[in-house]
Chain A
Amino acid sequence: MATLDLQRIVKSFDATTILHGIDLAVKDGEFVVFVGPSGCGKSTLLRVIAGLEAPTSGDIRIDGQNVNDISAAHRGCSMVFQSYALYPHMSVYDNMAFGLENIGVPKAQIESKVSAAATLLRLGELLQRKPTQLSGGQRQRVAIGRSIVREPKLFLFDEPLSNLDAELRVSMRAEIRELHARLKATMVYVTHDQVEAMTMADKIVVLRAGKVEQVGAPLELYNRPLNTFVAGFIGSPRMNFLPVALLPDEARQGGHALVPQGTHTIGLRPEHAQIANDGPIAMQVSSVEQLGSTSLLHGKVGADTPFEMVLNGQTSTRGGDTVRLGLSTAHLHCFDSQGLRL
């Protein structure tokens, strides 16, 4: 169990810079999720932490110790790869024991550690099988088992659930969370799926183009996104963005202004939009999806700004209708012309 400190991590490959100076502090026992669109550098950052890539500049400290010059094997990290990277010619037992054999752990100890991990992950029956004889979920668990067995300071996960089908993903998410609670280990998890991030993380790090956009607890990112990117990335369905010009003048200025001076874009989550007969903005509804428990309204505001609304229960609104939106300051996110929160 350890703390992780990243200071000004820069990573370049030849002429391309992937990471532009990342600073991060992870507390002992935290579950941190790196999330972001493809190409944002989250996997690269993970590999730099692991020691599989050397940073171009910057410092990595695990438990206060600078590990820049320590090889991957001796940093005390373990990694669960996206493809699991199980050794196909070794049995499940051997796959898990390999790491311990390499550092010279006596056989009896290996045996007890492996069976402990196997029991934890319900792999007891499968110890003598080869990876090709296992299902995707089972292979996943073997990959996790392999990293547990080494009792590392830091657990690293590189998009481990992306190769599983949707149902399995949901159950594995819970299992990994349970594991975290049990082991109380520091875990760094990379994913492109913001639902995974929201449900699993103690702390989310949102990355874009090699820079940290925001760090915080899931709800903090949901309630107070610091810029339009984070606001649009977190939360599903995606937040609506309206140009402030859509608001009538009195809503923009004066004592009853709904938004502060300097606002350029307004953000409103679909689930926070309400129908109000005297609302300041009109929405032309184009289609309505009724799911029984909720209704999803698609449409436009203003000239051609797309807008979505999620209502509880069922609605009588139909496509082609026009409704007026009620805006309450509590749920309005205001961003300046640079996209930063005001």
Chain B
Amino acid sequence: MSVTTFLTRTHGRGRLDWTDWLSYAYLLVGLFTMFAPILWLVMSSFKTESAIGQFPPTFLPYSQKSVTVQGHEKPLPLFLTKTESGELREMAQVRRIGIMATMVDPAKPETEIRVNINDRKPINELQFAGNNYTDLFGKFSFGKYLWNSVFITVVATLLTLLINSMAAFALSKYQFRGQKAVFMLIIATLMIPPTIILVPVFLVINSVGLLNSLWGVILPAIATPTGVFLLRQYMLTIPDELLEAARMDHASEWRIYWKIILPLSAPALAVLAIFSVMWRWNDFLLPLIVLSKPEFFTLQLALNSFQGELNTQWHYLLAMTVITLIPITLVFAFLQKYITTGIASAGVK
């Protein structure tokens, strides 16, 4: 079967009609709209400070070439210059006063000529400013922010998995008095977004002395109702006979939970883990309230505070932004299937 037959196989009719072309056009526009801004971000993050300030901006990170000239300490910027004789030469600029620039031939540094600034054009080359990224760790305690985010995300996810699965286990495999009420209560919590209890949550965290502590951001977030619901739904499908057999084998309940329920719930745990990583990595409002000392900032808080202070240092800000979005992009690239199936099944709720 030819390639064209394969490509035009739509509608079961074997012919592409205008609605198909329109659909693909729409999808391409969507692709551009969704990814072009991110691509622009990444490209810009590699621009040097001077290139960032250029207007109009270029797509690729170009920066003006510079050359070391004998007799001058710092490298001099290179221009394509029109000399008095009318020929175009590559010359380095020593200084510029007003509309006149003093240029030298890099090979013959003694001969200086003066030209009008309009007679020269900067020579650009591709320059990837990797130092935007490396400087972050040196100058800006970026490593600390990264560590804070990672710590919060990992610890919170582990704890979330632990206590949510314990609760889901209790609600799916046991019958105890008040069980239904507990379940209803947990579901009701789904309807209470954190935004409406900001002030008292702040009080509680303060009262237990967890203000300006990473634990103050971890602990309030780990009892997710979505997680309990998801895991419970999954655990309901584990046959009760397995537990009964284990009990006959004198296994304690904790052992049953740890050795039987948890391993069997691995797929649901994986989905919850991905969600939890997403939620905790992207958390903003609660950390904003709880963490006011810079050494405790997460990446998100750091990004926010930097764009206030360092409004002009976009090259660093952009690099930070790119680093912040890498982990979630990796999760997306490798685990997309888990995420979409997890949402589709949760959406059925």
Measured between beta carbons, the chain A residues less than 8 angstroms from B192 are none
Q: List 7 A-B contacts (CB under 8 A).
A: A14-B1, A15-B1, A52-B12, A53-B12, A54-B12, A54-B13, A54-B14
List residues of chain B with CB within 8 A of the CB of A52. Answer: 12
In the complex, how many angstroms separate the beta carbon of B347 from the nearest chain A beta carbon? 21
Q: Which residues of B line the A interface, CB within 8 A?
A: 1, 12-14
For A54, what are the chain B residues with a Cβ–Cβ distance below 8 Å? 12-14
B13's nearest neighbour on chain A, judged by CB, is A54
Query: Residues of A contacting B12 with CB < 8 Å?
Result: 52-54
Which A11-54 residues have a C-beta within 8 angstroms of B? 14-15, 52-54
Nearest residue, chain B, Cβ from A56: B14
A52 to B14, CA, bound (A): 12
Residue on A nearest B12 in the bound complex, by CB: A53
**List of B residues within 8 angstroms of A53 by Cβ:** 12
CB-CB nearest in chain B for A47: B12
Cβ contacts under 8 Å, A14 to chain B? 1
Chain A residues with CB under 8 A of B1: 14-15
Which 4 interchain pairs have the tightest Cβ spacing?
Answer: A54-B13, A54-B14, A14-B1, A53-B12
* Residue ranges of A at the interface with B (Cβ–Cβ < 8 Å): 14-15, 52-54
CA distance A15 to B1 in the complex (A): 7
Q: How far is the CB of A302 from chain B (nearest CB, A)?
A: 49
Cα(A14)–Cα(B13), bound, Å: 13
CA separation between A53 and B13, bound complex, in Å? 6
Q: In the bound complex, how far is the Cα of B12 from the Cα of A52, in angstroms?
A: 8
Query: How far does the Cβ of B8 sit from chain A's closest Cβ, in whole Å?
Result: 13
Q: Which residue of A is nearest B14, CB measured? A: A54
Bound Cα distance A15, B2 (Å): 11
**A15 — which chain B residues lie within 8 A by C-beta?**
1
Report A-chain residues with C-beta under 8 Å of the C-beta of B14: 54
B63: shortest Cβ distance to chain A, in Å? 53
CA distance A294 to B281 in the complex (A): 79
- The residue on B at minimum CB distance from A55 is B14
Q: How far is the CB of B9 from chain A (nearest CB, A)?
A: 8
The answer for the CA separation of A59 and B139 in the assembled complex, in Å, is 77
CB B2 to nearest CB in A, in angstroms, measures 12
Which residues of A sit under 8 angstroms from B13, Cβ to Cβ?
54
CA distance A313 to B90 in the complex (A): 116
Residue on B with the closest CB to A51? B13
Alpha-carbon gap, A15 to B9, bound state (A): 13
User: Smallest CB–CB gap between A64 and chain B, Å?
Assistant: 24
Chain A: minimal CB distance from B337 (Å): 25
> Nearest Cβ in chain B — how far from A220, in angstroms?
36
Q: Please give me the residue from chain A that is nearest to B9 by CB atom.
A: A14
- Chain A proximity of B5: nearest CB distance (Å): 9
Closest Cβ of chain B: how far from A58's Cβ, in Å? 14
In whole angstroms, what is the CA distance A54 to B1 when docked?
17
- Bound form: Cα–Cα A54–B13 in Å: 6
Of all chain B residues, the one with the shortest Cβ separation from A71 is: B13
CA distance A210 to B13 in the complex (A): 20
In Å, the complex CA distance between A54 and B11 comes to 10
CB distance from B109 to the nearest CB of A (A): 72
Closest to A52 in B: B12
In the docked arrangement, what's the CA distance between A14 and B1, Å? 7
Distance between Cα atoms of A233 and B12 in the complex (Å): 32
A52 to chain B, nearest CB (A): 8
A277 to chain B, nearest CB (A): 63
The CA-CA distance from A148 to B14 in the complex, in Å, is: 30
Q: How far is the CA of A55 from the CA of B14 in the complex (A)?
A: 10
B250 CB to closest chain A CB (Å) equals 51
The smallest beta-carbon distance between A39 and chain B, in angstroms, is 19
> Distance (Å) between the CB of A60 and the closest chain B CB?
15
B11, closest chain A residue (CB) = A54
Quote the shortest CB–CB distance from A280 to chain B (angstroms).
56
State the CA gap A54–B12 with chains docked (Å).
8
Give the nearest-CB partner of A15 in chain B: B1
Closest Cβ of chain A: how far from B115's Cβ, in Å?
69
Which residue on A lies nearest to B5, using beta carbons? A14
How many angstroms between the C-alpha atoms of A52 and B1 in the bound complex?
22
User: Distance in Å from the Cβ of A237 to the closest Cβ of chain B?
Assistant: 40
Whole-angstrom distance between the Cβ of B180 and the nearest chain A Cβ? 30
- Chain B nearest Cβ from A79, distance in angstroms: 15
- Kindly state the separation between the CA atoms of A54 and B17 in the bound complex, as whole angstroms: 14
Cα–Cα, bound, A15→B13 (Å)? 16
